[in-house]
Amino acid sequence: MPAKKAGRQQVKRAVRTRGDRTETRSAMANALRSVESGDVAEAEIAVNAALSTLDRAGQKGILHKNNVNRRKSRMAARLNKMKAASE
């Protein structure tokens, strides 16, 4: 494949995935903030939204499946640690 065409395709792909990457990062940041705030109910909602967003990013190929699973595991561990501390 000519390099020019590959370059054009890469630009299109980057534009297409930019919003999904941003959404994933924002969801992760919101979940982390809510876990650190200490409000269990709010944190559970935010973490579930972040996990769903991560799954979607993995399905679309934005993140590697192992990367998605590692992030989900760490987020769940933080939520569980916060729940244990609040009881």
d(CA 50, CA 33): 12
Confidence of residue 58 (pLDDT cuts 50, 70, 90): very high
CB 51 within 8 A of CB 24: no
- In this predicted structure, the answer to whether residue 65 has a pLDDT above a threshold of 90 is yes
Domain range list for the chain: 3-86
pTM of the model: 0.85
Which class in CATH covers the domain with range 3-86? mainly alpha
Per-residue pLDDT reduced to its tens digit, 12-53: 999 999 999 999 999 999 999 999 998 999 999 999 999 999
What sign does the CA torsion over 61, 66, 70, 75 have?
A: positive
- In this predicted structure, the answer to whether residue 64 has a pLDDT above a threshold of 80 is yes
